[in-house]
Structure 1
Amino acid sequence: MKICLLAPANSIHTLKIAYSLKESDNDVFVISFHKPRVKDLEILYIPPIMSSLGKLNYLLHIPKIKKIVEQYHPDILHAHYVSSYGLVGSLLNYHPFIVSVWGSDIFDFPKKSFLHRYLVKYVLKRADFVLSTSNIMAEETKKYIDKEVFVTPFGVDCERFKPMPELRTKDKIIIGTIKALKPKYGIEYLIRAFKILVDKYPFLPLELHIGGEGYLKEELEKLAVSLEIGDRVKFLGFISHDEVPKYFNMFTVSVSVSESESFGVAVLESEACGVPVIVSNIGGLPEVVKDGETGFIVPPKDPEATATAIEKILLDEELREKLSVNARNFVLDKYNWKENFKLITEIYRKAIEEIDHG
């Protein structure tokens, strides 16, 4: 198949799909308004005409993109993110046209105004197939269309994300997270939960490792110092995706207590490494954790509940081992990327057949 992806080339989600398509002997072409980080894919980067125009740049490039797509003549045009690439794809009048919803484009964007809501409805109506990575996001999408929304989980490469016992140390208990340092990921509440644990168990070798970059870093560092745990909280900075499995395997417990999350890929990656997880009862996170079996689900913005859940795992070695084994098996059963990717290619073939017989 020839597949044209309209998607951000700097996103690991885009790259995972593109590489999987390429490895399956498909012809893949990516058109992106975001500068790519790789050179072994065929990617057309379209820079902004004027940075001050913001996303209006996307619309100004439509004649150029339309010409490129028609010349490439793909079997499938697949746009990712309704409110940007999806809108561009819907205006190209090319079929089969598939659009994937990603999160804020369906949870937040249509609520901004009547016009935003209309644009979302327009894009979804123009699509031949609509895809979502989570059930909760699919249900949200159905508020704007009366067609089926196919759930295609964004799973995990279980050959890369796997238990590596040799990386786990017995002289440290590491509670960790790998997230962008932004308010919606609730890292403040994780730090406060960690403080509760340090105060309760001052002689345990507890450390909190926070991977990721973002504008909240300085504020979070100050919070840790003000709580007198600065020496136990380590900010790891940017972690490349190749390095993520190593860091997850160093964690005793992985925590994602976000205030907003459409799915939870990092949670699945932790589980695939056999690491028990704690997540907040928000968005798509409860879909990727079996409460009491692979980890625990806690209320958002609740340091006390988060600390209690971490404590259960740390103090019960038998429970910790059970959660670890269950977590790995859960991902293998439901979120193995090889199987999830097959769902996408099956939809591609169905779309082509419907156009051929339409």
Structure 2
Amino acid sequence: MLGDATSVHVQRWAREMLARNWRVSLVTARPAPVDGVEQHVLKPVARSRDWLARVGEAKARVAALRPDIVHAHYVTSYGYLAAHVPGVPRVMTAWGSDLLVTPQRNLALRWLTGWILRRATLITGDSADLLALAHRWAPAVPTELIHWGVDLARFRPTPWATKPGAEAVSLRSWEPNYQIDTVLRALALVRKERPDVRLHLLGGGSQETELRALAASLGLGESVDFHGRVDDAGMAAALARSKLSISVPVSDATSVSVLESMASGVAVLATDLPANRAWLPAEALVPAGDAQVLATRWLALLVDDALTRRLAAANAERMARDGDRRAQMDEMDRLYRMLLSSWPPQ
């Protein structure tokens, strides 16, 4: 695998494949402990163009491993490195912004994205719109919908009666794309009618100073808690207390935090994006950046507990049917073995 060892998604993927008897090595520019995974650390990457200078080093690291399969996570960084590795099946997993945002910046990045994808043997992504973009750039390369899935043993519904009446949570990072400022502005509007409402922010990120200042300027006081980054147990505990989870980024593929919220039996309000339409009903979708609409929907759920509970129950049922991480990783295991059985191509 090529990817950030600091990413919980890369860590989970690696552990799932270890559990399926694969030997997993990780070539990474951002190391972090991952039990059972041999890591080969590249020179640090500070700027996007640094990836161009890591090709030779990455090729040497991979060649020394003599892998059966190379799998890159994030097309426009580690995918670029994997595209230069010869002689093995190359799997590339698109994460969202690598296809939805980065290629839109200029013509050169669009050309580079297409070149990377056309070097893949298999492309995976966690939403249909992501795979449609990949197919547009690399129509001859097979694509498969594989989402990150949820640990349904950890993220599961808790009794509705144990949840405080007006608590909500956001699991998204405190970065510009995730529009936490919009959530805070909506909270200020909601508090005019429901001063008892409380919001827990769990993401952490570079905008902490600005968001804390905004909360103070809006007079939110103790109605908002800035928890920062927490582990899976911390997220599960926050979801167990909450009836509502809010996720309103400008751009996104299938969000693990949305899936975890759904699996926890929580109602969700999310941006009206193609990936979210695949998981949530129309009444749960809001325009990006519109604090007024978000506040209106939020208040409606506070007023109508039966509606909130119905949406939450439907979310839990959907995830029990379609959201199990083990099933997704079983499918990925099958795809790996299929690639090996048909390699080298005739």
Paired position in structure 2 for 1:131 = 124
| 1:235 aligned to which of 215, 226, 233 | 226
2:311 matched to 1:323?
Answer: yes
Paired position in structure 1 for 2:259 = 268
SS of structure 2 residue aligned to 1:242: helix
Cα distance per residue 1:283-332 (max 9 Å; x no partner): 5222232334xxx1111111221122222222222222222221111112
Paired position in structure 2 for 1:100 = 93
- C-alpha root-mean-square deviation of aligned residues, in Å? 2.0
In 2, Cα distance between equivalents of 1:167 and 1:241: 23
Contact 1:33/1:58 (<8 A) preserved: no
Q: CA deviation at 1:121?
A: 1.4
Paired position in structure 2 for 1:87 = 80
Paired position in structure 1 for 2:42 = 46
Contact 1:221/1:230 (<8 A) preserved: no
Cα distance per residue 1:162-201 (max 9 Å; x no partner): 123399443x521110111112111111111111211023
In 2, Cα distance between equivalents of 1:56 and 1:221: 33
Q: CA deviation at 1:47?
A: 2.7
Paired position in structure 2 for 1:252 = 243
Cα distance per residue 1:132-169 (max 9 Å; x no partner): 11111111222211133211111111111112339944
Contact 2:262/2:316 (<8 A) preserved: yes
Contact 2:59/2:81 (<8 A) preserved: no
Paired position in structure 2 for 1:26 = 22
Paired position in structure 1 for 2:217 = 226
2:148 matched to 1:154?
Answer: yes
Contact 1:178/1:266 (<8 A) preserved: yes
In structure 2, the CA distance between the partners of 1:87 and 1:285, relative to structure 1 (3 Å rule), is same
In 1, Cα distance between equivalents of 2:264 and 2:41: 34
In 1, Cα distance between equivalents of 2:119 and 2:264: 40
In structure 2, the CA distance between the partners of 1:212 and 1:167, relative to structure 1 (3 Å rule), is farther
Contact 1:174/1:252 (<8 A) preserved: yes
Which stretches in structure 1 are left out of the alignment for 5+ residues? none
In structure 2, the CA distance between the partners of 1:334 and 1:291, relative to structure 1 (3 Å rule), is farther
In structure 2, the CA distance between the partners of 1:262 and 1:169, relative to structure 1 (3 Å rule), is closer
In 2, Cα distance between equivalents of 1:40 and 1:145: 34
Contact 1:173/1:252 (<8 A) preserved: yes
In 1, Cα distance between equivalents of 2:49 and 2:218: 44
Cα distance per residue 1:25-61 (max 9 Å; x no partner): 111111111121434422222233xx66x34544444
| 1:297 aligned to which of 259, 262, 285 | 285
2:113 matched to 1:120?
Answer: yes
When the two structures are superposed, what TM-score results if normalisation uses the length of structure 2? Answer: 0.93
In 2, Cα distance between equivalents of 1:65 and 1:78: 13
Which stretches in structure 2 are left out of the alignment for 5+ residues? none
Contact 1:279/1:286 (<8 A) preserved: no
In 1, Cα distance between equivalents of 2:84 and 2:302: 53
Aligned residues: 345
In structure 2, the CA distance between the partners of 1:111 and 1:197, relative to structure 1 (3 Å rule), is closer
2:310 matched to 1:314?
Answer: no
When the two structures are superposed, what TM-score results if normalisation uses the length of structure 1? Answer: 0.90
